[in-house]
């Protein structure tokens, strides 16, 4: 964010606990890692195409709300925008 000198932080939290123990044992870790890397890479490419130079990315596993709070504390972020994939908004209504 050239005008302000801000850094764009991209945090991807993988919530593997919601898959259940049977699904986790069947799920190949390499496949999950590959998909996460694709998602983060696409986000970085989109940001770079928008002329953003200062980009940091990180991937965590766990409970998203907890991991997001931990990341914000660790990096001292003061503002946040959220997005998510994999479920439609209507699924939550």
Q: Read off the tokens for 73.
A: 């504390």
For residue 76, what pLDDT band results from cuts at 50, 70 and 90? very high
For residue 89, what pLDDT band results from cuts at 50, 70 and 90? very low
What domain range is 56 assigned to? 8-82
- Considering the domain boundaries, does residue 91 fall inside one? no
- Considering the domain boundaries, does residue 93 fall inside one? no
pLDDT, tens digit (0-9, with 9 covering 90-100), for 10-56: 998 888 666 555 555 545 566 777 888 888 888 888 888 888 878 88
Task: List beta partners, residue 61.
Answer: 14
What pLDDT score was predicted for residue 20?
Answer: 59
What pLDDT score was predicted for residue 62?
Answer: 84
Distance in angstroms (rounded) separating the CA atoms of residues 38 and 33:
9
- Considering the domain boundaries, does residue 26 fall inside one? yes
Looking at the structure of the chain, the number of domains it has is: 1
- Considering the domain boundaries, does residue 37 fall inside one? yes
For residue 6, what pLDDT band results from cuts at 50, 70 and 90? confident
pTM for the full model?
0.68
- At 16, give phi and psi (nearest 5°): -75, -20
What pLDDT score was predicted for residue 7?
Answer: 87
- Considering the domain boundaries, does residue 12 fall inside one? yes
Spatial CB neighbours of 85, under 8 Å, sequence gap ≥ 6: 39
- Considering the domain boundaries, does residue 34 fall inside one? yes
- Considering the domain boundaries, does residue 39 fall inside one? yes
- Considering the domain boundaries, does residue 90 fall inside one? no
């Amino acid at each position: 964010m050239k005008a302000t000198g801000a850094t764009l932080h991209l945090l991807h939290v993988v919530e593997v606990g919601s898959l259940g123990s049977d699904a986790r044992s069947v799920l190949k870790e390499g496949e999950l890692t590959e998909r996460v890397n694709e998602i983060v890479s696409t986000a970085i490419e989109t940001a770079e195409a928008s002329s953003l130079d200062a980009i940091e990315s990180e991937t965590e596993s766990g409970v998203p709300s907890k991991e997001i709070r931990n990341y914000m504390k660790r990096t001292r972020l003061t503002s946040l925008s959220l997005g998510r994939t994999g479920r439609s908004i209507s699924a939550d209504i």
